[in-house]
Amino acid sequence: FFFYIISICFFCNTHNLLNQFNCWVTHLRYCNIFVNMIPRPILLALVVLATTTSKVSSFAPQSLVKYSPRALEMAVDDKDEVREYFNNEGFSRWNKIYSESDEVNTVQLDIRDGHGQTIEKILNWIEADGDIKGKSLCDCGCGVGSLAIPVASMGAKVSASDISDAMATESARRAKELGIKNAKFYTSDLESVTGKYDTVTCVDVAIHYPTEKMGEMITHLCSLAEDRVIISFAPKTWYYVFLKKIGEFFPGPSKTTRAYLHEEPFIREALRKSGFEVAREDMTATNFYFSRLLEAKRV
């Protein structure tokens, strides 16, 4: 337990760990006193109120989030927040993580490894099928081209986009450096991507989508795909919710965008409603990276 507390503090670049930890312990003591002082019905009402107005609305029941003005406001703000972050400070940080740079700490190195494992699993699926050459693939939220570039090198016709102009530009630069000519990279939010493609991929993007927007996002991805959709997301389990809640006690300068966990049954149902059925699945979990991977095919 204490190992995870210290680890998450390190991940958030917390420079005054001891003081914040003492403060956290003090909060727990006062919280215990407060809980024992008030009747249970009132306590339950306060919990519901806090859940529906919390900054991290993805942990609230969907029925409550739906009618929360704060949640609706967050849905509007998230896209601008993510775009701003990945065009500035976030680009510098994640460009180093998704590269061979030595300017990364232990936690960032762990995330690089986890993301790399997810990409490798997708590439293994594609290679096992043996029919990607000449087919079209749309990579939504391509980042620096970690998936788009190797798929293009396998012979696919790739169209890759990212909400961050800095990310899309870096992807194009890397592809050009490798002599890749069958891939185009451009700046766009996911909802504005159009066209029809044999395969549509969206890797490690869902973490930026609030619960109330996730269904629409999956529906749009499926509308672009002729054959299959490959999507990854951070699963909402009690364990990961617990770790995330602990992390919220230690806000740091690197936590500049909201992070959302998603329930797998909801993702599967959204895919089913769009005419897709999960054919393959996998899970990547390292110390600081966890990602559920689903491949759904049109039925």
For 136, the enclosing helix (H) or strand (E) is strand 136-140
- At residue 99, φ and ψ (nearest 5 deg) are -150, -170
Structure tokens at 159: 């169209």
Cα dihedral sign, 219-224-230-231: negative
pLDDT at 61: 33
pLDDT at 158: 98
Q: Which residues contact 1 (CB under 8 A, 6 or more apart)?
A: none
pLDDT in tens, the chain (299 residues): 444 444 444 444 433 333 343 434 333 443 443 444 444 444 444 333 333 333 333 333 333 333 344 444 444 468 898 999 998 888 989 999 999 899 999 999 999 999 999 999 999 999 999 999 999 999 999 999 999 999 999 999 999 999 999 999 999 999 999 999 999 999 999 999 999 999 999 999 999 999 899 999 999 999 999 999 999 999 998 877 777 676 666 555 545 568 899 999 999 999 999 999 999 999 999 988 999 999 999 99
Closest CA to 166 of 98, 71, 114: 98
Closest CA to 140 of 252, 22, 225: 225
Task: State pTM to two decimals.
Answer: 0.73
For 281, the enclosing helix (H) or strand (E) is strand 276-285
pLDDT at 22: 40
Pairing of strands 183-187, 225-233: unpaired
